[in-house]
Amino acid sequence: MEICLPDGEKQELPDGSSVVELSRKLKKSLKGSALAAKINGVLKDITTQLNDADTVQVLTFEDEEGKEIFWHSSAHLMAQAIVKLFPEAQPTIGPAIENGFYYDFANLTISENDFPKIEAEMKAIVQERLQPERIEFTSTEEALSSFGENPFKKEMIEQLEDGLSAYRQGDFIDLCRGPHIPHTGVVQAFKILKTSGAYWRADAEKEQLTRVYGISFPDKKKLSAY
């Protein structure tokens, strides 16, 4: 099959190839490790199978959308570590922001003294090289069965009419549209920056949450420069 790159160049690949195979062919021209892809204008995981005549942009950390995916995946990584260390914590949302990411939790009280042990747990997860697994829910009821004990996830699920999906890495699962980085080992440098208070849905009438901010990079040099 023939794949079209954003600059108009064509690449021949065997039928059934994924973005992984394409990124291997383009390795020398990519500015960093392949993280995800934009296929016909839609962001997708690197494991997505390609079809003949697809237009594909392989994304790295040097691309703004690749950076956003990297930081959102890092938010999942941090949340996984926090939930393991603080099992009562309830994850809510964890987006990428202009510089890094944050994740909001209910039932969580931490201080800067907790940062080193959270970072140590994150490092252990990175070393496991866990691959995020996409889960497509076929109904609201199916999604609720995975998140029904979390009232914040339940609220989000009930407000979404279609396209319900989640990602699982190891024993952590999170409601998410994706895409995500190929595996946790890509996140080679990170730092928890600070915590603050936040309200659910930015509404002062709703629950107060603990927001944890972080930053991450593919290598330690970029973190040091930051």
Query: Considering the domain 2-60 in this protein, what is its CATH number?
Result: 3.10.20.30
CATH fold label, 66-225: Threonyl-tRNA Synthetase; Chain A, domain 2 (3.30.980)
Per-position pLDDT tens, the chain of length 226:
999 999 889 999 999 999 999 999 998 888 889 999 999 999 999 999 999 999 999 999 999 999 999 999 999 999 999 999 999 999 999 999 999 999 999 999 999 999 999 999 999 999 999 999 999 999 899 999 988 789 999 999 998 867 799 999 999 999 999 999 999 999 999 999 999 999 999 999 999 999 999 999 999 999 999 9
Which residues, in sequence order, are CB contacts of 179 under 8 Å at separation 6+? 36, 37, 43, 44, 45, 46, 69, 134
**Which positions ≥6 away from 63 have C-beta within 8 Å?**
57
Provide the strand spans (E) within the chain.
2-4, 10-12, 36-39, 42-45, 56-59, 90-91, 96-97, 100-106, 133-136, 165-169, 172-175, 189-199, 208-217
Question: What kind and span of H or E run contains 67?
Answer: helix 64-85
Domain residue ranges of the chain, discontinuous segments joined by +: 2-60, 66-225
What does the block give as tokens for 4? 């079209």
Q: Is the pTM for the entire model greater than 0.85?
A: yes
Strand 133-136 to strand 100-106: parallel, antiparallel, or no bridges (unpaired)?
unpaired
| Residue 95 to residue 213: CA distance in whole angstroms | 10
Alpha-carbon span 200 to 84, nearest angstrom: 22
Assess whether the previous peptide bond of 179 is cis (omega < 30° from 0).
yes
Output the CA torsion sign for 132, 136, 140, 142. negative
